[in-house]
Amino acid sequence: MLKVTNQITSFEEDIQVPEDVIKKLIILSIIWPYEVVRQLFITCIQNKNQYKAIVPVLINLGNLCTLNDQNDCPDTLLVLALKDTLSLENSELIAENMTSIIQFIKSCCLQKEFGHKYPLILTPSSLSDRKLLSVKEVMNNLVLGNLISFFENDSDDYVVLLHFALHILNAFCDTSSTEDWRTIMSKSDLPAFLYCSPEMFLLCLTNILNLRLMDGSEQVLLKLQDWELALNIIKKISTIVQYVMETCIDHFPLIYQFFKETLLEFDWKTQLLWYNTTQYILKRPLKVPVAFFRITGGLNEMFVEDPNDTMVQVPEQIRGWIEVFTACKLSTKITDNLFEQADRWMYNLLLLWNHPYEDTIVRASLEYVLHPKTSLSVSIEYPNLLLHFLDKLYDSFIDVDQAIRDYEGYESQEMIPIIQNLSRFGTRQYFIVLYIIFLLKDNINKSQENEDKQDNYYVSNLIKLLQVQT
């Protein structure tokens, strides 16, 4: 077996697999089929890009990888080899070779009928071109099982398996196509993912993000990168779920039940993770903290107040605003709804209508809600506030463009003539840029002596958005 696998290492992606190698592997598979599949997989993951050579070999072995015993074990040989190799006992192997493992799994699932440019998560359930692995086999055996194990076992040993599950799921959502996911789904059968207990995926992903809300009373083993992966996956899966809820929800009652009942068991901030999806269908009011409600009011039963809320270590004068900004960070739909009904909470919105140089609320709230030291926010959430929210705030601000042009307190007097000649589009961008610059300055002033990774992460994300605006 070792001699044969060594012969495979020099193959290129477009070179045909030599017949003598296939014949040797067939003979070996008669003696020990499981070990042939397992060893080929191990050879693949321990050598960079070796999946390009190994996957064609496995395909040329005919039905070897898909052999199974329907009575005793419905799992195929390849699934068994993957489950045994990618287990808790081999967590170090998984951590060191995660990229190679995921490349192999994706390559085993690719369907010619569906096309390589589309995300694997949208692979239709009805495709007849059976490859080495199906999406359903990967979702059930390598993703969902590991997600559930993480919550069932109170041990940091399972963090690697959680990372692995999230990276697979994220890789299956990755695509080179710019085509709208709803358009892709409308042209084919529903994704196979929807037949893999999707409600359990929704529950696990929600539980992962709910860990961000821990107040320090429990040890949290996850990092910012984990929250980011989970949030990105939720964003992608939301498109699938919303499409289902709008077109064929009767066929997926457990998904509907999750949003209607199970989600209500979580904190209001966690519920907002799915707000863009649920609001279209359920249209129920969101229970928010009293401090939030005092700023916005009910807004035509969009909100109801929760008298049992608690929030500690937050300056009382901006507590309600922090709650509002947090909601807008989690859901752009909340931001849209707030500003669509701006006239109903105008008496408080007016407090935000200041030139960035004169602001007393926005900067403090943005910093508290975005900085990892106080919020564990991740990079994909920054645009929700610094671009989307500030853009809506600008539009609500009467004569804001003139206020930007006429302001006399700019530090650089040479800039005043340039600012005075800005178009409305220019003043909009400058309005946002000023807030980002002030956040950067405030952080530099506070962290000159004690700069750490969290400060670096925060500054890095601010600079990225500053580059987008300029």
pLDDT band at 440 (very low <50, low <70, confident <90, very high): very high
Burial 403-437 (b: 16+ CB within 10 A, else e): bbbebeeeeeeeeeeebeebeeeebbbbbbbbbbe
* Distance between CA atoms of residues 206 and 274, nearest Å: 9
286 DSSP β-pair partners: 303
Residue that the structure tokens 């600079």 belong to? 463
224, burial (CB in 10 Å: exposed 0-12, middle 13-18, buried 19+): middle
pLDDT band at 154 (very low <50, low <70, confident <90, very high): low
124 DSSP β-pair partners: 191
Residues contacting residue 319 through CB under 8 Å, at least 6 positions apart: 291, 311
| Sign (positive or negative) of CA dihedral 379, 381, 385, 388 | positive
pLDDT band at 399 (very low <50, low <70, confident <90, very high): confident
pLDDT surpasses 70 at 116: no
Residue 386: what pLDDT?
96
Nearest to 184 by CA among 173, 200, 195: 173
Q: How many residues does the chain have?
A: 470
pLDDT surpasses 50 at 41: yes
Distances (CA, A) of 329 to 171, 370, 382: 25, 8, 7
Residue 312: what pLDDT?
52
pLDDT band at 233 (very low <50, low <70, confident <90, very high): very high
Mean pLDDT across 388-393: 96
Q: Which two tokens stand for residue 180?
A: 């709208």
* Distance between CA atoms of residues 260 and 285, nearest Å: 12
- Which H helix or E strand runs over 303? strand 303-306
* Distance between CA atoms of residues 397 and 336, nearest Å: 15
* Distance between CA atoms of residues 281 and 57, nearest Å: 48
pLDDT band at 215 (very low <50, low <70, confident <90, very high): low
Range scoring the smallest mean pLDDT among 179-183, 270-274, 280-284, 432-436: 280-284
Share of the chain above pLDDT 70, in %: 90
Distances (CA, A) of 159 to 91, 221, 429: 9, 7, 42
Helices 145-152 and 198-210 pack at an angle, to 10 degrees, of 40
Residues contacting residue 295 through CB under 8 Å, at least 6 positions apart: 320, 321, 323, 324, 345, 348
* Distance between CA atoms of residues 233 and 142, nearest Å: 16
pLDDT averaged over the chain?
Answer: 86
Residue 82: what pLDDT?
93
Share of the chain above pLDDT 90, in %: 47
pLDDT surpasses 60 at 218: no
Identify the residue with better confidence: 470 or 216: 470
Residues contacting residue 351 through CB under 8 Å, at least 6 positions apart: 361
Nearest to 391 by CA among 347, 421, 429: 429
Residue 64: what pLDDT?
85
Residue 217: what pLDDT?
47
Mean pLDDT across 269-298: 89
Cα 326 to chain centroid, rounded = 17
* Distance between CA atoms of residues 112 and 394, nearest Å: 48
Distances (CA, A) of 321 to 29, 351, 363, 380: 66, 10, 11, 21
Per-residue pLDDT of 287-301, as tens digits, reads: 999 899 999 999 988
pLDDT surpasses 80 at 44: yes
Per-residue pLDDT of 309-362, as tens digits, reads: 665 555 666 889 999 999 999 999 999 999 999 999 999 999 999 999 999 899
* Distance between CA atoms of residues 74 and 418, nearest Å: 71
Residue that the structure tokens 């006239």 belong to? 343
* Distance between CA atoms of residues 21 and 420, nearest Å: 74
pLDDT surpasses 60 at 11: no
Residue 96: what pLDDT?
92
Q: How many other C-beta atoms can be found within 10 angstroms of the C-beta atom of residue 183?
A: 8
pLDDT surpasses 60 at 129: no
Residue 416: what pLDDT?
85
